[in-house]
């Protein structure tokens, strides 16, 4: 049984506030309505589409990144707690995949994770000293990769960052990055 429109819209607004990265498709499934109904409800509520919500969140964090410029960050940083945790999102587009099989080239997933490992560190100078990475599942065009980084250890010169990347709650990449911070002699 469908809910009355005013109840659905109130729940829709709350759901998006709790998870601004939820897709219209997932909302349609959750509310048992069409994608078009969700889009109309969002329009009436003044809630932007997912891409605009992501851009808004990313704009809030771009000034916090010290070691990279906006153009150097791969993906959109949507959450950043310097020297603690960070999250970025990257849409896999046709130019990121192999033509033959449609699977994302690994260096794009690595670049997203590595730039997040740099961005999380509260220092003007950060370089990757060593990385131990594992690709666990293939990623295809149109999929959204969510990378989550966490600082697990640090001293004056080195920081260890663990990055795990997911597509629809399934891990597709993991890496441990040893990051050199400050100017090394």
| pLDDT tens, residue by residue, 47-86 | 888 777 766 665 555 555 555 555 677 888 888 888 999 9
**pTM exceeds 0.85 for this model:** no
End-to-end CA distance of the chain: 68
For residue 1, what pLDDT is reported? 67
Residue pointed to by tokens 């399934």: 170
Q: Which domains does the chain have, with CATH numbers?
A: 5-47 (1.10.10.10), 66-181 (3.10.129.10)
| Better pLDDT: 177 or 64 | 177
Q: What is the CA radius of gyration of the chain?
A: 19
For residue 68, what pLDDT is reported? 54
For residue 177, what pLDDT is reported? 97
Region of poorest pLDDT, from 44-48, 84-88, 160-164: 44-48
| Better pLDDT: 133 or 124 | 133
| Better pLDDT: 167 or 156 | 167
For residue 181, what pLDDT is reported? 85
How far apart (Å, rounded) are the C-alpha atoms in residues 32 and 38? 10
For residue 57, what pLDDT is reported? 61
Please state the separation of Cα 153 from the chain's center in Å: 22
Q: Quick one: what percent of the chain has pLDDT higher than 70?
A: 88
Please state the separation of Cα 114 from the chain's center in Å: 13
Q: Which of 105, 102, 64 is nearest to 82 (CA)?
A: 64
Crossing angle (nearest 10°) for helices 24-31 and 5-18: 130
How far apart (Å, rounded) are the C-alpha atoms in residues 141 and 132? 25
- What are the angstrom distances between the C-alpha of 109 and each of 2, 84, 167? 40, 21, 11
Please state the separation of Cα 81 from the chain's center in Å: 14
How far apart (Å, rounded) are the C-alpha atoms in residues 157 and 43? 49
Return phi, psi of residue 28, to 5°: -60, -45
Contact status, residue 163 vs residue 148, Cβ threshold 8 Å: yes
Judge residue 4's burial from the number of C-beta atoms within 10 Å of its C-beta, 0-12 exposed, 13-18 middle, 19 or more buried: exposed
For residue 60, what pLDDT is reported? 58
How far apart (Å, rounded) are the C-alpha atoms in residues 109 and 128? 15
Q: Residue 150 pLDDT more than 90? A: yes
For residue 3, what pLDDT is reported? 82
Q: Quick one: what percent of the chain has pLDDT higher than 90?
A: 45
| Better pLDDT: 152 or 119 | 152
- Spatial neighbors of 176 by CB under 8 A, at least 6 apart, are 131, 132, 133, 160, 161, 162
């Amino acid at each position: 049984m469908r809910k009355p429109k005013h109840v659905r819209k109130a729940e829709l607004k709350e759901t998006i506030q709790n998870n601004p990265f939820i897709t219209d498709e997932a909302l349609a499934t959750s509310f048992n309505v069409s994608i078009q109904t969700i889009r109309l409800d969002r329009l009436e509520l003044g809630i932007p589409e997912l891409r605009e919500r992501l851009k808004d969140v990313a704009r809030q964090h771009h000034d916090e990144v010290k070691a990279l410029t906006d153009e150097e960050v791969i993906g959109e940083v949507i959450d950043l707690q310097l020297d603690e945790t960070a999250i970025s999102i990257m849409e896999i587009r046709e130019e990121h995949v192999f033509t033959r099989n449609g699977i994302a080239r690994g260096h794009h997933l690595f670049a997203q994770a590595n730039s997040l490992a740099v961005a999380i560190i509260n220092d003007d100078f950060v370089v990757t000293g060593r990385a131990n990475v594992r690709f666990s599942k293939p990623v295809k065009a149109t999929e959204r990769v969510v990378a989550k980084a966490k600082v697990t250890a640090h001293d004056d010169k080195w920081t260890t960052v663990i990055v795990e990347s997911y597509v629809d709650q399934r891990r597709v990449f993991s890496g441990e990055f040893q990051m050199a911070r400050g100017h090394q002699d």
